[in-house]
Amino acid sequence: MPSRSPDDDPRLGDVSEGTVLRAILARTAPASHTILGPGDDAAVLAAPSGSVVATTDTLVHGPDFRLAWSSGYDLGWKSAAVNLSDIAAMGARPTGLLVALAVPRDMRLSFVEQLADGFRAACEALAPGCSVVGGDLTVSDVLTIAVTALGDLEGRRAVTRSGARPGDAVAIAGELGLAAHGLAVLFGRFRDGETPTPVDAARLAEGEASAVAAQLRPAPPIGLGPVAALAGATAMMDVSDGLALDAGRMAAASGVTIDLARSALGAEPERALAGGEDHALLATFPPDVLPPGFRIVGTVRRAGQTGVLCDGEPVDVAGWDPYRDWDAATG
């Protein structure tokens, strides 16, 4: 949709809630699973399997994003993508999103419109058939985007974290460490207030641009979640906090040890092990199965003293913990 001119871009505090909601709704489009879209007390979505898969994840300004780096479009896209990924990780297909926005009232209406455009574009690109079906708008001093994603299992059983068995292959679909590389570029070169929004691609070296894009607008392999489930994945999860930490969670839930192969982790194995926010799919498969889009990165072993090994040795890297790693004062 056309962008808003500076002369016609009021602050949210100067317009009614209804005006903001109408601006958002004009930019959403119902998709195939929507039975009743936004505008009533609640939405109604198809759940053909007789069950619904549901997850929620929040992005908060500060710990989760910086307005100096991310446009409204970027934030809408990323907020959608990280939630769609959790649906895919159960082997389900996303059917709808609900978006709860808490927005400072000095922000511009155009920002919220760009956010809506980002949500729509991410759904269309990553999860056709899924759309924003409902939401909520309130005012807060801290920009907060809480998203709930819903999905359908299409008759399959949910693929949990707890089904990995000794002898299974450990496989990945999607990037490992690329989003963390992008974050390092942003922290190293573009501190808050030093750069125009969106990030000026001309100031990025080759390789840096794709890493920054992976951080700001991740494109996790949503469609491969159902593919993995159909192929017989024994366990699956979304890698949001780094492969080492998340593989450890899968190992604990399954009562096994996961032994990763450093040679399969790309040019920067440490970043692949520690870097969060890629939203790759980590799955385990019986030894003779590997669906398209997945690559083997290790083997499931019987539970040992350590949940995660790399080439048989314990891995000592930590993932992202907002309560430990974020300080509002120092950034």
List binding-site positions for Mg(2+): 41, 55-57, 86, 136, 238, 241
Q: How far is the CB of 41 from a second copy (least distance, A)?
A: 4
> Contact between 54 and a second copy (CB under 8 A)?
yes
Contacts with a second copy by CB under 8 A: the residue count is: 74
Report the nearest approach of a second copy to the CB of residue 312 (Å): 26
Contacts of 174 (CB under 8 A, 6+ apart): 220, 221, 224, 239, 278, 279, 280, 281
* Residue list for the binding site for ATP: 135-136, 161, 240
Q: How far is CA 100 from CA 44, 70, 81, 120, in A?
A: 17, 19, 15, 15
Which residues sit opposite 139 in a β-bridge?
103
Cis amide prior to 198 (ω within 30 degrees): yes
**Residue 21 in the binding site for a second copy (CB under 8 A):** no
- Residue ranges of the annotated binding site for substrate are 64, 277, 320
Position 280 contacts a second copy (CB under 8 A): no
Strand partners, 280: 239
Residue ranges in 185-244 that form contacts with a second copy under rule CB under 8 A: 236-238
Q: Which of 2, 7, 193, 323: binder of a second copy (CB under 8 A)?
A: 323
Residue 189 beta carbon to a second copy: minimum distance, rounded to whole angstroms = 25
Q: Give the nearest distance from C-beta 234 to a second copy in angstroms.
A: 14
User: Which of 78, 272, 246 shows the shortest CA–CA distance to 175?
Assistant: 272
Contact positions with a second copy (CB under 8 A) in 287-306? none
Nearer Cβ to a second copy (231/235): 235
Nearer to a second copy, 2 or 18 (CB): 18
- DSSP β-ladder status, 295-302 and 169-173: antiparallel
Q: Which position among 9, 51, 230, 311 is part of the footprint of a second copy (CB under 8 A)?
A: 51
Closer to a second copy at the Cβ: 199 or 250?
Answer: 250
Mark 23-56 as b/e (b = at least 16 C-beta within 10 Å): bbeebbeebebbeebbeeeebebebeeeeebebe
Q: What's the min distance (Å) between Cβ of 224 and a second copy?
A: 14
Whether the CA torsion 244, 245, 250, 254 is positive or negative: it is positive
Burial pattern 122-148, b for ≥16 Cβ within 10 A else e, equals bbeebbebbbbbbbebeeeeebbbbbb
Q: What is the sign, positive or negative, of the torsion defined by CA atoms of 271, 273, 276, 279?
A: positive
Nearer to a second copy, 19 or 314 (CB): 19
List 4, 57, 124, 289, residue binding a second copy (CB under 8 A): 57
Q: Which parts of 143-172 interact with a second copy (CB under 8 A)?
A: 144, 146, 148-151, 153, 158, 160-162
Q: Which stretch binds a second copy (CB under 8 A): 7-15, 202-210, 211-219, 259-267?
A: 7-15
Interface with a second copy (CB under 8 A), residue from 75, 133, 260, 310: 133
